Structure 1
Amino acid sequence: MSIAVEHIATDQPPDDSKARDLDYGWQSGNRVQLLENGEAYFPAVFEAMRDAQREILLETFILFEDKVGHELQGILIEAAQRGVKVVVSLDGFGCGELSPAFLRALAEAGVIVQMFDPASKTLGIRTNWFRRLHRKIVVVDASVAFIGGINFSADHLGDFGPEAKQDYAVQIIGPTVADLHHFALAQSGRQVRARRGWRRRQQRPSPWADEHGDGLVRLIYRDNIQHRDDIEEAYIHALSQARQRVVIANAYFFPGYRLLREIRNAARRGVQVQLIMQGQPDVLLAKLAARMLYDYLLKDGVVIHEYCQRPLHGKVALVDDEWSTVGSSNLDPLSLALNLEANVLIRDRAFNQQLYQSLEALARDHCQTMPAKRKPRLWLWRLTVGFLVFHVMRHFPALASWLPAHKPRLKPIESPAHDV
């Protein structure tokens, strides 16, 4: 069986004007709901998809052929058959094990399925490791959107067992949905229309909103073109403004020196800084890398918790009593320097408090706290090694640009497919 494909370059926009257009401002009047783990996320997303009347746009890093993947497949097929336009963008690495039959069923029903940088195995090993499509975004009828760190796989459900992931996403209803819709269309290669008021919003130079109040949301993302540092800069700016508390829960924590310095500086000026890391990682290297930084942070009063109940997969943070972020971006070289990522920044006191209570309960009930060491051992050596490793990875895209076939591509899977 073969599935016909055609190549569409997607790692960079067709012209600079389009890249500038994808710079989103703060939007007020949004309703934001925290969704913790698959138990909250999947029912909300699937209900929205079942109610879809016009369009479903979906991007995900991982889609597995398990009970969650098959339920999603059935919902998308049913939506396409009743006339809903369905566009699904998958990552070639994270979704590389999907069977041709699974993909063919979607394509034959009319679902537009696109695979980002697919590659066949070499000697049984997948080689398309870098510059992954790591975003997790769903937009339904341009009226409700979901964004966060949760993939479409059963390992985000508690009944998966000890390896079930702890993770977060948000549901958004309000003006920011239009930005997410515009962004998802543009990234999938679909035609987008300029919207009234677009240029007016882009005149705000500050990464923070001019207004203070609830319901403010801003979409930010990183690519390998003009928005390489947007997510990192948002973290740095928020940390520099912190006055009361900072809580960061991140699965893969190995940030560059500038972000690390802002975390330390916040603790030095009396801010209560808590980091929640993986205690039972799904990738052992992630835990070892994060622990290289512990001494550097502990000596200045940063409180570090390791979540020990199951693997932590979250990518969330909050500052003081208003600012929060939820998305797909880890604080490691892959997310900050290579992958295609998307987060939302949220300025909403009620949401901030809800996220804080969830993370506080996680730290209190399911984490072990790292002891502060009076005489840190080898922290300078660890920091130096960490600095070198991060910045080698950070400049990897520039080095890789000298290699052949380095630009990822989006390949639509077409129907009908014919057995040969």
Structure 2
Amino acid sequence: MNPETFLDALSGIALTPDAIQVLPDARAYRDCLLARIAAAERRIVIVALYLQQDEAGQAVLDALYRAKAARPALDITVVVDWFRARRGLLGAGRQPGNAAWYQAQRQLQGLDVPIYGVPVQTRELFGVLHLKGSIIDDCVLYTGASLNNVYLHHFDRYRLDRYHVFQSPALADAMAGLVQRLLHPVATPRLDLPEPPATGSLRSDIRRLRARLRRLVYEAVPSRPGQGMRVVPLLGVGRGNTLNRTVCALLAVAQQRIVICTPYFNPPRAVMREIDQALARGVEVELIVGDRTANDFYIAPGEPFSASGALPYLYEDNLRAFARRRHVCLASGQLQIRIWNDPGHTFHAKGMWVDQRYSLLTGNNLNPRGFNLDLENGLLIDDPQQQWLAPREAELAALRRFAPAIGSADELGVKADHPKPVRKLLRRLRYSRLEPLIKRVL
């Protein structure tokens, strides 16, 4: 099937332009989320990689318990990654994890607000729950952000993401329905109840769950392409999934311009191949990538170093190599690379814009891990009549605000300037021939 036919055949839901709102920043998203929870009448489905035990996480959990107390018939479901909830923060030593907090809060509140843990693989390294999109009544809040202080800009620091609000009963039903079909009485245990099972006892059930995940699809109400705006919900887990195929098809159909946004520059071979073919066709390609200091794994000089602190430098090395190999396109302006950096803050925005028709919202980092290991999803906005250009361009302008374009790969520095612990670790990886393997799980 050629890319155009593939995209047209995707099952979508008809929308009007005023059914989509783009929120400007993390604070606006936080305020919207809390207000929607407070006003919920029928259902709340919160899906995130994690709901963190901090001030912002407490505000969200308190809002859910208040809503349940005010309307006992309200159906509330919270879904987070199983592994992430049962461990502490990276580099912070042994901690009980958020699950212990969920249990304490349930005992304190005395109300039933179920929090489920989803193990996508038998080990966190090989796959996590990376679904995005929370449903409140007939509204979908779609963002790549998790729920903690920095993602919700609770104090001074923020982590930039993308924030969209869809008012669509059909989309809300499709996304809520998938979450309910995702949950399993054994393989996705409650984390808010005492003594959740050990991961080892779930291994067989987790393998069966992952096999079932590969067959899951959104049950969307189809609308014909070319008949106005539509939104296409996409699911992806494992190789060759619908989301991956859609990403590649979008790149393949581009005729004028592609914009790609990712905090972690480590494209899979399929994506790299489509980018190069687009450049060969004369398509303009723009990348918006976070500066290494805007990476959430960045460790400032003088702070205790851990292995995860080398990741921002590895991503920067990837980008430098990419820019050098395509220096002709970069020099001519056909390829534009923008480096986002608002000092003190971090960057987490992902997605794609193709020509003036397609906009892809996704939590997928467009890297090998997102393509092969994690459970991902996305919302494709198909706008054949260009009815939604103004909000689309306004969002792009905001993303470019702190992202000046570089003129050459030399502006990204050289490996010799990396801190000594980073150089030492990356050299070990290269000499041990583990670097290709490491890149597949990052």
TM-score normalized by structure 1? 0.72
Structure with the largest fraction of helix: 2
% of aligned pairs identical? 20
Q: 1:314 to 1:103 in 2, by over 3 A?
A: farther
C-alpha distance in structure 2 between counterparts of 1:222 and 1:167, whole Å: 20
Number of residue equivalences: 341
Give the Å deviation of 1:306: 0.7
User: RCO greater where, 1 or 2, for CA within 8 Å and sep 6 or more?
Assistant: 1
Counterpart in the other structure of 2:338: 305
Tell me, what secondary structure is at the counterpart of 2:177? helix
Matches within 5 A, 1:191-230: 201=222, 210-224=224-238, 228-230=240-242
Q: 1:345 to 1:390 in 2, by over 3 A?
A: farther
Tell me, what secondary structure is at the counterpart of 1:371? coil
Q: Give the conservation status (yes or no) of the 8 Å contact 1:238–1:319.
A: yes
Q: 1:368 to 1:75 in 2, by over 3 A?
A: same
Which residue identity is paired with 1:368? P
2:135 pairs with 1:139: yes
Matches within 5 A, 1:92-111: 92-95=82-85, 96=87, 97-98=97-98, 100-106=100-106, 108-111=110-113
Counterpart in the other structure of 1:323: 358
Which residue identity is paired with 1:133? L
Which residue identity is paired with 2:335? V
Q: 1:266 to 1:137 in 2, by over 3 A?
A: same
Q: Which runs of 5+ in 1 are unaligned?
A: 1-22, 120-126, 191-197, 202-208, 379-384, 397-420
Q: Give the conservation status (yes or no) of the 8 Å contact 1:254–1:333.
A: yes
C-alpha distance in structure 1 between counterparts of 2:28 and 2:274, whole Å: 33
Please point out which of 53, 69, 76 is paired with 2:57.
69
2:15 pairs with 1:29: yes
Deviates further, 214-223 or 27-36: 27-36
Please point out which of 171, 179, 182 is paired with 1:184.
179
Give the Å deviation of 1:79: 2.3
Counterpart in the other structure of 1:263: 275
TM-score normalized by structure 2? 0.69
Give the Å deviation of 1:212: 2.0
Q: Give the conservation status (yes or no) of the 8 Å contact 2:258–2:352.
A: yes
C-alpha distance in structure 2 between counterparts of 1:256 and 1:315, whole Å: 15
Tell me, what secondary structure is at the counterpart of 1:77? helix
CA RMSD of aligned residues (A): 3.4
Q: Give the conservation status (yes or no) of the 8 Å contact 1:231–1:343.
A: yes
Matches within 5 A, 1:44-59: 44-59=32-47
Q: Give the conservation status (yes or no) of the 8 Å contact 2:34–2:63.
A: yes
Which residue identity is paired with 2:247? Y
Q: Which runs of 5+ in 2 are unaligned?
A: 1-8, 88-96, 186-218, 298-311, 415-429
C-alpha distance in structure 2 between counterparts of 1:362 and 1:270, whole Å: 24
CA deviation map 1:123-146 (0-9, x unaligned): xxxx733310112221123x1112
CA deviation map 1:345-389 (0-9, x unaligned): 0023354442333323432x3123222469xxx9xxxxxx9xx98
C-alpha distance in structure 2 between counterparts of 1:342 and 1:318, whole Å: 16
C-alpha distance in structure 2 between counterparts of 1:160 and 1:291, whole Å: 33
Counterpart in the other structure of 2:80: 90
2:164 pairs with 1:170: yes
Which residue identity is paired with 2:394? Q
